[in-house]
Amino acid sequence: MATMTGIPGRARQITASDITIWRDTPGCLHIGSAGNAKVETEQGDVVTFYGLSAGDVIPCKVIRLYSTGSTVSNCVLVYGL
């Protein structure tokens, strides 16, 4: 069976938190419900993405989705290249 490269192999439902960090599993963030997402990247950048729609994907390695400053919900962290 052929294997696919460059495609994440894992995913998990996440809840926004000002405390929780996913340093061991950084990944792209799939947005379930529209809104704004304040995130921290693997490199330590903190940025807010405004006007996201349901189904959007933040294409950088996210290690935290802040609850303060975020209005998105039903998010999935896609990781494991």
pLDDT for the residue 9: 85
Instruction: Answer yes or no: is pLDDT of 81 > 70.
Output: no
Strand pairing class (57-65; 75-79):
unpaired
pLDDT for the residue 7: 76
* Cα atoms found within 13 Å of the Cα of residue 80, Cβ hemisphere only: 8
> What is the residue extent of each domain of the chain?
16-79
pLDDT for the residue 4: 58
Residues 36-52 pLDDT 10s:
999 999 999 999 999 99
Sign of CA dihedral 58, 14, 39, 41: negative
- Interval 67-72 mean pLDDT: 98
pLDDT for the residue 55: 97
Residues 1-22 pLDDT 10s:
556 567 778 899 999 999 999 9
CB of 46 closer than 8 Å to CB of 38: yes
- pTM score: 0.88
